Amino acid sequence: MVFNSYIFIAFFAIMLALHNLPISWKAKKVNLLLASYIFYAAWNPPFILLLWLSTVVDFFVGRALYTQPNIHKRRLLLVVSLIGNLGMLCFFKYGGFILENFVHLTNTLGIDYHPAKPSIILPAGISFYTFTTLCYTIDMYKKKSEPVKSLLDFSLFVTFFPHLVAGPIVRPPQLVPQFETPHKATKQQLIDGLLLLSLGLFMKVVCADTLLSGASDTVFGSGGAMGPLDAWTGVLAFSGQIFFDFAGYSTSAIGVAMCLGFILPQNFLYPYAAIGFSDFWRRWHITLSSWLRDYLYIPLGGNREGKFKTYINIMITMLIGGLWHGANWTFVAWGGLHGVYLWVEKAIRDSRAKISNVPTDGTPAPVIATASLGPDLTGKKPAGFLYALLTFLLICITWVFFRSATFGQAWTLLRSMSGQTPPAGPPLLATVDIIKVMVVIGLMLIFHWIMRNTTVLKTAGKMAWWQVSIVWSVLLIMIILSQGTSKAFIYFQF
């Protein structure tokens, strides 16, 4: 079941009605849990067993981790949790990838080995709910918070349908306390939630699927050389498509939860207004970057063990972050390129600090947000906008690897973008399609820059009710007119 479907509208209306009935809070939580399983079962019902297994094992292992006084037994329990969660993730998401690379290695060594290709179905959202449960057991091992008392509350925390399949990645302190006491949306929360849901669907259905996906699919699906204009248009289209698609889902999820009286963490903060790559990772997929900071970068040593080790930790974090997105070396290259960008940015920042005798901790933004290129560029000045534009264009280059199925395709497209290869045929995109992409991307960049230090709800709160009504009506009309072109959310495959 997806947010951009009429089935979900009916499902959500029923959930709102049930959640506002005069029944006990426990009954309402049971309704939410059952609804979350129904929501997930719409993809493939047998995979609910994985959710149950992960939930039950981590609930009891987490409690034992917190109460077990023997450090050796606690470490063993943590290993059990890590093997269970990461083992399922590796099998379903990376099993075929690992086998493929093993076969390639053996054939390179002269061993003729050709096993049957495994038929493994990737469970929707497994990367998201695996990270959700992992952070609980790791926190229990470190005794950062007390264990969840109720299996019902913990089950609902893991499977709460707004965030289940594509985030935001939530942590127990962010959501579990909200399940412990009765929650019901206020009138303002209901209005704000429906507004966010409408905005999220507009971003997905209208911007991502109707306006941008056509040019993106055409360019990335061609496989051959093309003119620089076609190549750049396709890459720009994908840069907008993936933002509107993923941020649209997160915005919808936050809105749906708010309609029920719950608050989910912010996941996007106008990332294409970022000044530098540290700032970008403070704004893009915020819950993943903070997860990588707390559960990977800092345990590796962070910036506490010297400059060289800090650089290594940055790269390891970004490479694993890239691999998290998909079982393909192109995703690893995407993460590695971001790591290189962060290296360069850190070197510039360290150099400026050395010249001005200002100490710097050298911490990268995927792990800890820092000032990017200097305080003079953080405001809404022309220089700042130009740096943000440069950051955006360099990030677009990384999207080439993210979207391409092979390195060959990525290199061909990069060469086309630079004008190094002559087009293999006539232009791929019509003039009207190019203009459409340029207008949408241009408006997106301007909007991001204007909104970089605020939020939609804060802005809507400053507007007159009739102004909000007009904007909201336009969003809904365009969603309805574009509904037939909508597709599944991109991040479902991750």
Round to whole Å and give the CA distance between 97 and 95: 5
Yes or no: say if 127 and 89 are a contact pair by the CB < 8 Å rule. Answer: yes
Prior bond to 168 cis, omega within 30?
Answer: yes
Output the CA angle 72-87-142, nearest 5 degrees. Answer: 35
104 is catalytic: no
Q: Please list, in sequence order, all residues whose beta carbon lies within 8 angstroms of the beta carbon of residue 92, skipping any fewer than 6 positions away.
A: 50, 120, 121, 122, 123, 126
The DSSP element (H or E) to which 444 belongs, if any, is helix 431-451
Candidate list 163, 183, 285, 325, residue with the active-site label: 325
Round to whole Å and give the CA distance between 75 and 294: 19
Q: CA of 64: how far to CAs of 59, 81, 299, in Å?
A: 9, 11, 22
Q: Could you tell me which of 244, 396, 398, 264 has the C-alpha nearest to residue 321? A: 398
CA dihedral over 137, 294, 395, 475, signed as positive or negative = positive
Q: CA of 2: how far to CAs of 40, 264, 320, in Å?
A: 10, 18, 28
Positions annotated as catalytic residues are 325
